[in-house]
Amino acid sequence: MRNKMDELEVLAQSHSYDIIGISETWWGESCGWCVAIDGYRLLRRDKQGRRGGGVVMYVKERLNCVELQVGDGKVESLWVRIKGQTNEGDVVVGVYYRPPGQDNDTDELFFAELRDASRSTPLVLMGDFNLPDINWDYHMDDTSTSGRFLKHLDDNFLVKVLREPTREGALLDLLLENRGGLVGDMAIGGHLGHSDYEVVEFKIYGDRRKTATKTSSLDMGKADFRLLRELVSKVPWETAFEGIGVHQSVLVHL
């Protein structure tokens, strides 16, 4: 990433982005003044003990923000609460890098961070999750690792909003929101230097856009999940799905 800083600074200044999130920076202790961008506050978490990885977030200095202190630093993630302006609530923005083959214990640490960061607050999460086996069309997985990831997305009401592949035809980079309509105006395209990752641009609308719409939505945080589990347990699922395949079962369930 260090060899792309000139291009990144030109891109940031020409588009005047409020927030820039980057995964896999490959930065180390030697990277200091050379990665600063004028007019931006720099937040970073370098991978300790190995080459590669790391995440960074640039936030416009005019924004009122605070870095959330969640977790113990073992996860390659950053979480920032952006204070809302007039008629807008706060929004938490996160960036995360999950290296291929990450162990279950570190995954669990990330899930704990996710719960802490999203407590009843609009949240946008971006990053490289390296879970290519997930079938997003059917919300299905081929491994227990991806299954746990999908479960924790559901538990925190996170929905994928990025649908196009961003790296050599693969959907490894994700953009997630926990409020409908929080993210919009997405554009995918362009690279930094010779990177094989595409740049993703989007807008965060916050509560102002929500108050302007007349569309009603359910508050899932107030749902009676105990009653829901009780009702679901009474359904004769084997009889309901008898004679149909897995994909058809998912479609019937939806």
Domains identified in the chain and CATH numbers: 2-219 (3.60.10.10), 224-254 (no CATH)
H/E segment holding residue 154: helix 144-155
Radius of gyration of the chain from Cα atoms? 20
Tokens coding 27: 């930065």
Name residues of the chain where pLDDT drops below 50: 168-171, 209-213, 250-254
Q: Are 113 and 45 in contact (CB under 8 A)?
A: no
Note the pLDDT of residue 244. 66
User: Which has the closest alpha carbon to 254: 131, 137, 157?
Assistant: 137
Count Cβ atoms below 10 Å from residue 7 Cβ, excluding itself. 13
Q: Of 11, 72, 33, whose CA–CA distance to 22 is shortest?
A: 11
Residue 140's pLDDT is 85
pLDDT score for 212: 47
Q: Does the pTM of the predicted model rise above 0.85?
A: no
Instruction: Report whether 43 contacts 79 (CB < 8 A).
Output: no
Residue-wise pLDDT tens digits, 129-188? 988 888 887 888 889 999 999 999 999 999 998 776 555 444 457 899 998 889 988 887
Asked whether the beta carbons of 98 and 131 are under 8 A apart, the reply is yes
Quick one: CA dihedral 200, 95, 175, 51, positive or negative? positive
Positive or negative: CA dihedral 138, 172, 132, 80: negative
pLDDT at 253: 44
Q: Is 112 helix (H, G, I), strand (E, B) or coil?
A: helix
Sorted by sequence, the CB contacts under 8 Å of residue 41 that are 6+ apart come out as 58, 59, 60, 61, 65
